[in-house]
Chain A
Amino acid sequence: MIEHIPVLLVVLPVLGAAIPLIVSLYSDRGGWSIAAVTMLAHATLAGLLVPEVWTGGVVSYAVGGFALPYGIELVVDGLSLAVVTLISIISLGVLVYARHAGPHENTFYSQFLLLVTGLTGMTVTGDVFNLYVFLEITGLAAYGLVASGRRVSAAVAALKYLIIGTVGASLYLLGVGYALATTGTLNMADMSTKLAAVGYDSTLVLTAFGLMVGGLTVKVALFPLHTWQPDAYANAPDSVSAFISALVSTVSAYALARLLFSVFTVDFLTAVPAARWALLVLASVSIVAGSALAVSQSNVQRMLAYSSVSQFGLVIAGFTIATPIAVLGATVHLIGHAVMKGGLFAASGIIERKTGATTVSGYAGMAGRTPFVAGAFALLALAMVGVPPAIGFVGKWYIVLGAVEAGLWPVVVVLLASTLLTLAYFARLVERLYFAEPTIHDEPAVADGGAEADESPASSDHRSDGGGAVSTGMIAVVVAAAVLAVVLTGAVPLLDQLLDQTLPPLLQ
């Protein structure tokens, strides 16, 4: 049983995704319970793997018993286990949030579990083509989820996301074609030895690298390729934007790291400095441009989306620097960002339901109306800026240390500037929340109804999936995210230990 866990992690949510549809024949509710049971089982399976990976280092599984490297291999090491655990926990958090916030349809929970399948598959696979398939499963589920927003503009945003996302995934597939032509294998470990044998300066290898990494940066949403993201996040239902902002880009960034370290290896980055610099420049531009765009937004959710563009620049920079400390920092920030950004989106959803405020100016004085959520929002925002002892500080600190160690001074400057830039857009918002007088002009219905006016116009036209009201569970999720953003700092040594067995072989 225990040796089958890697494949069960993927199979379980697929099967779970089919059940709500069958249940739909008899009842249009019940999807939530099925998703909750499935995700609890998923979390348990991930938990069972922890001692295995802690002692054994790597768990490998040959799907269907086909001999490796011909069959599909699933690999769980410290890095992928950390991401799988993150997927489990965030999904459970989103389920608690969606219990009241909706959408309540069974189809929503099918898509939700399909998305979990795709994300988990991307994380545990050890096969580059298999990664493409899971990338597309993730994509398809995410497009559907974004389109489930009530407004029709959600469909436009989803179609935009679909077209750009498909081009990204197709470029990745084309890159797999080049890699297959070069090495004749699809298994990541096998491919990395064969790529080394072919020689890193071969045109085929370079083309494969460019296409595969380029394709994934579309999914991560680095700067010039991010255009799908703000529309998708701002138009999706609250539960969905919290879920995909926390996980979809995160797992794509993980896949990029997996590709860098397990397929092309650090030797490739050393042998081809142009590739490393291209990624570093892309990441640095993303950090600066993402922040600049975030500052110029008036809609809070769009601002949070642009903030992701900037934060993923940081993560990719950390992975590209590729020293152990920088990779640890990037992993910490990858996980920390997921918790913080998911929490921020959930909080912005609650604030919108309670007060109808969606814009930066509309947030003025809202702290008095929603003290817990506003407090959590402020805490998460400060954690994202990198105020110690929050998790956001640790990740950035290690990435900067790595850059200093590697002597990449221009990158150090950008990384330090990124903290100031993050402060620029979050400080503005926190200041509004606490120190500004409530404005009346952009939410007329609130003036007479006060806190009881849950059905303000802004929330009733498209966000009324849960009737506009806010449940204790939703607030608890946001507060838990805020607490986690601070407490996770204490877990960094554990993560360090978990990665201690994984990273050295990858980074030598």
Chain B
Amino acid sequence: MAVTGAILVLYLIAHMYGNLKIFSGQEAFDGYAHSLRELGYPMLPENGLLWILRVVLLASVLIHIYAAVALWARARRARPAAQRYKVNKRVARSYASYTMRYGGVLIALFVIFHILHLTTNHIAPGGRSDSPYERLVNGFQPEFWYVTLFYVLSVIMVGLHLRHGIWSALATLGANMSRRQGTLNAIALGISLIVTVGFLLPPLAVTFGLVS
């Protein structure tokens, strides 16, 4: 859970960096997207490193989901429905930790939609295009407010997922010590805020006409 989560967080940060290229214009954005296909070339065949990354990411996602389902099933077994508390009160748990399971499902559904939308372009609100820049600009026009809304909600859910996930991964990997607990939580909060804002800026900039 922790290791695959860490891989996915590192990927998200790289992905966010790429997205922010939108503010450098169409040429920079499309050029960056194209350069991803040539990463490692000519050492590796064209698209080689991209496919290696895709396989690593897919494996991470699948292992992450498997671990999550196993933890969920164990929790269900450890406190079956008949043994639920009649009155239950949250004492310390954060809202972020509360959203981990259903938020994870939402994120998984979003990722599928996201790939169909902006990677393969099978779903193309506002028209298909070979330019990643145009796909993005077309997809987040004000008339497709529902696409933007789903995107915004999903990214906020990703932020909450990271807020608890990064802290939890660090604790699982043994990094937590009493005097460090505040620092680890601050790191988790910091990264999740940066990632949330970094992913929200490009589509909102399109919707509000700052990028066209």
Real complex partners, A and B? no
- Name B's A-contacting residues (CB within 8 A): none
